Amino acid sequence: MVIVFADVAGVEAVLAGGRLRCPCGGQLGPWGHARERVVRGVGRMRPRRAKCRGCGRTHVLLSRLCLLRRRDAIAVIGAALTAKAGGVGHRQIAERLGVPKDTVRGWLRRFARDAEAVRAHFLGWAFALDRELGPVLPAGSVFADAVGAMAIAARAFVLRFGPREVWPVVAWLSGGVLLCHTSCPFPPIR
């Protein structure tokens, strides 16, 4: 499975010090690396792998700047989703972001397919993080509601934990599996 790590630079020290935990509670130790890849908007990445000393499962430690199995930074993908929610078509989005239009269409289709699950997941987080959150008004489409839910959850996170960039928060709250196949369910809300 995937563990989204907040401080990529510090991951080695935390891992070596045995301070990173598996979802089962066991201690994670270093276990090589995943294949190196280039993530547009981020650079070369060679994600760390870790193995649990308890249950024996291996995990990929993913930077919160990207998503599992996507070659573009979450900030770029997020900009595309936001534009689509605002009524911009995929060709124009692709042109604006300098990304192939088939890639953008792929993101939008995947997101549209899972929009209801995305909306529910992020609203769950929003209400868990901000107990005073008022009713959330519909934005006009399931797609826009899902994008809105991500923004509301990120804002609730910032209110609770202090200022930080929105899209890495969204990546983290999704467990890195936003736009992934349904075989990678969202992690539970803690």
Q: Please give the residue ranges that form the binding site for Zn ion (CB under 5 A).
A: 22, 24, 26, 52, 54-55
The one-letter amino acid at 159 = L
Beta carbon nearer to Zn ion, 54 or 86 = 54
Beta carbon nearer to Zn ion, 52 or 73 = 52
Beta carbon nearer to Zn ion, 26 or 106 = 26
Beta carbon nearer to Zn ion, 58 or 141 = 58
The pairs formed by 31-37 with CB atoms below 8 angstroms and a separation of 24 or more are: 31/58, 34/60, 37/71
Token pair for 5: 């790590």
Beta strands in the chain (DSSP E): 2-5, 28-33, 37-39, 43-45, 48-52, 58-63
* Dist. CA 128–CA 75, nearest whole Å: 24
Give the nearest distance from C-beta 21 to Zn ion in angstroms: 8
Give the nearest distance from C-beta 176 to Zn ion in angstroms: 17
Give the nearest distance from C-beta 53 to Zn ion in angstroms: 8
